[in-house]
Amino acid sequence: MVGIVNYGAGNIFSLTAALDRVGVQYGMINNEDEFDHYERIIIPGVGHAGAAMDKLKNSGLAERIVTLRKPVLGICVGMQLLTSYSEEGDADLLGIVPLKTLHFYKRIDEKVPHMGWNSVSPQNGCVLFQGIPDNSYFYFVHSYFIESDDTYTSARCNYGINFSASIQKDNFFGVQFHPEKSGKAGEQLLLNFSRMVIS
Amino acid sequence: MLAKRIIPCLDVKDGRTVKGVNFVDLRDAGDPVELAWQYSEQGADELVFLDITATYEGRKTTIELVKAVARQVNIPFTIGGGINELRDAEVLLNSGADKISINSAAVRNPSLIDQLAKAFGRQFVVVAVDTRLVDGQNFVHLRGGRDKTEIQTENWIKEAEERGAGEILLTSMDHDGTKNGFDSALLKRVNDRIQIPLIASGGAGSQQHFVDVFQQANVDAALAASVFHYGEILVPELKDTLRKNGIVVR
């Protein structure tokens, strides 16, 4: 079963609908003890990273997340929370992955937000992308991005600049796009995560 | 590279699609959920539902529709029509809509754009603009192009962006329904002035019209209704044509 961290940052209807479509069972994590009920954990998130971090801290769930040894998947702002810092709200985040979340504005000439379908190149056979062809398109909506990094970037995307479409450190995974809105490729990625075993 | 988007638009009334559709293998051509699913399977990048229901009972039906689409369709969708205040938008967000589109309500009360962007993020707020040429100038029109306002279209779009619109859906009423092609000249002028995505609408009649609007105006997305519903243009063939013309599509 997949546990969804329920800390009030955005609507999760689309995520649960996608899990239903691919036949993955899930439940909500509302307090620290409920982490024990699930083998895999998803941290959703839309909106403002600084505000999301405040909500996560206030929910009392942040401290437990950093100690988890199960597979964890952050989606969009939920992924950004795994990094050390975001320019959005000048906020310190969970610091699990030692990267920064930066604003596109002033760094690229393209339109912001980066909205729509963009192609993604997985690096070094990232397990999240098993069975998904290289350069498949995923749906993005975001104004902040995680810098591209040789160690922690597990899939790259380009929008005026190379950035992390996905990151990984040990059992922690994050995707900047919305797998729940990314057609069949996104559904496959959710299925891959739901079957993932960390050895 | 970011792909150009193809967006079929469905007109919905009391939970049913209004304009006829001419799809093979469709059990119920009036069911917007089935139609939406079919389009997503064909490779449409996004969907827009324009809900032309005003009654309270109709609105409840719309919310059920939004939930059903969100459950069954794996691409993003926008819902427009009848959104006059934050609460209307919030209900749609919580039912699974990715974006809402506002038109007349934003013209009557421009601060609604600011409020929606602040509450839900600007990526959630599409401002739809219907424009028509009057004495050589483009003016914003309301009620599907029937009522002229004194607001110049390009100024209004700039204001909408500054107030927090995440995207502009621009329909040329002069081109809409003609099947003579999009208004690429106007779309290019607008696109050169804004930093948010622009969706072209009105006038699609052939695959070449989509090639033209992407090449001439560099818009981010193109929307059409009847050419898709009547099977005159099939999404997979359209995408092949765009690819052959060097336009990046999914």
Q: How far is B142 from chain A (nearest CA, A)?
A: 27
User: Can you give the residue range of the structural domain that contains A115?
Assistant: 2-194
Nearest to A29 by CA among A75, A64, A54: A64
**How far from chain centre, in Å, is Cα A3?**
14
Q: Which residue has the tokens 């546990």?
A: A3
Residue A49 within any structural domain of the chain: yes
The answer to the question of residue A37 being in a domain is yes
For tokens 């999301």, what's the residue? Answer: A52
In a domain, B250, yes or no: no
* pLDDT band with cut points at 50, 70 and 90 for residue A9: confident
For every residue of A80-132, DSSP letters joined together read HTTEEEETTTTEE---SEEEEEEESBTTBSS-SSEEEEEEEEESTT-GGGTTS
CATH number of the domain enclosing B131: 3.20.20.70
Structural domain total, chain A: 1
Name the minimum distance, in Å, from the CA of B242 to any CA of chain A.
Answer: 15
- d(CA A2, CA A20) in angstroms, rounded, equals 12
Domain that holds residue B171: 5-244
Task: State the average pLDDT over residues A125-135.
Answer: 95
**Is B98 a residue of the active site?**
no
Residue A8: predicted pLDDT: 83
B174 among known catalytic residues: no
B3 in contact with chain A, both atoms CB, cutoff 8 A? yes
CB B90 within 8 A of CB B119: yes
Contact state of B250 with A137 under an 8 Å Cβ cutoff: yes
Q: Does B75 touch chain A (CB under 8 A)?
A: yes
Chain B residues with CB-CB distance to A157 below 8 A? none
How far is it, in rounded angstroms, from Cα B4 to Cα A188? Answer: 23
Tell whether B236 is within 8 A of chain A (Cβ).
no
Q: Which residues of B touch A48 (CB under 8 A)?
A: 121
Of A71-80, A118-127, B4-13, B50-59, the least confident: B50-59
Residue A70 has pLDDT above 60, yes or no: yes
CB B165 within 8 A of CB B123: no
Let me know if residue A143 belongs to a domain: yes
pLDDT of residue A115: 95
Residue A187 annotated as catalytic: no
Please check whether residue B219 lies inside any domain of the structure.
yes
A11 touches chain B (CB under 8 A): yes
B236 within domain boundaries = yes
Give the neighbor-by-neighbor strand order of the sheet with A83-86.
A91-92, A83-86, A97-103, A144-146
**Complete DSSP assignment for B114-150:** HHHHHHH-GGGEEEEEEEEEETTEEEEEETTTTEEEE
**B72 at the A interface (CB within 8 A)?**
yes
A134: CATH: 3.40.50.880
Out of B40, B74, B220, closest to residue A116 by CB: B220
**A167: in domain:** yes
* Residue of B45, B71, B94 with shortest CB distance to A20: B71
- pLDDT tens, A92-104? 999 999 999 999 9
Nearest-Cα distance to chain B for A45, in Å, is: 12
CA atoms within 13 A on the CB side of B134: 15
- Nearest chain B residue to A158 by CA: give it: B1
Structural domain contains residue A177: yes
User: Which chain B residue is nearest to residue A187, measuring alpha carbons?
Assistant: B74
Please count the CA atoms within 13 angstroms of the CA of B49 that sit on its side-chain side: 34
Give how far A140 is from chain B: nearest CA, Å.
Answer: 9
With CB atoms and an 8 Å threshold, state whether A46 touches B72: no
Residue scoring higher pLDDT (B13 or A38): A38
Q: List strand residue ranges (DSSP E) for chain A, in order.
A: 2-5, 26-29, 40-43, 72-75, 83-86, 91-92, 97-103, 114-122, 136-142, 144-146, 153-158, 162-169, 172-175
Provide the residue-wise pLDDT of chain B in tens; the chain has 250 residues: 999 999 999 988 888 887 656 655 666 668 889 999 999 999 999 999 998 776 777 778 889 999 999 999 999 999 998 899 999 999 999 999 999 999 999 999 999 999 999 888 889 999 999 999 999 999 999 987 789 999 999 999 999 999 999 999 999 999 998 999 999 999 999 999 999 999 999 999 999 999 999 999 999 999 999 899 888 999 999 999 999 999 999 9
| Listed residue (A181, A90, A103) closest to B44, CA to CA | A181
A88 touches chain B (CB under 8 A): no
How many structural domains does chain B have?
A: 1
A199 in a structural domain:
no
For residue A145, being part of any structural domain is answered with yes
What mean pLDDT, rounded, does chain A reach? 94
Query: DSSP of chain B, one letter per residue?
Result: -BPPEEEEEEEEETTEE-S----TT-S-TT-HHHHHHHHHHHT---EEEEE---SHHHHHHHHHHHHHHHHH--S-EEEESS--SHHHHHHHHHTT-SEEEESHHHHH-THHHHHHHHHH-GGGEEEEEEEEEETTEEEEEETTTTEEEEEEHHHHHHHHHHHT-SEEEEEETTTTTT-S---HHHHHHHHHH-SS-EEEES---SHHHHHHHHHHH--SEEEESHHHHTTSS-HHHHHHHHHHTT----
Query: From the CB of residue A85, how many other CB atoms can be counted at a distance below 10 Å?
Result: 17
Task: Decide if B37 is inside a domain.
Answer: yes
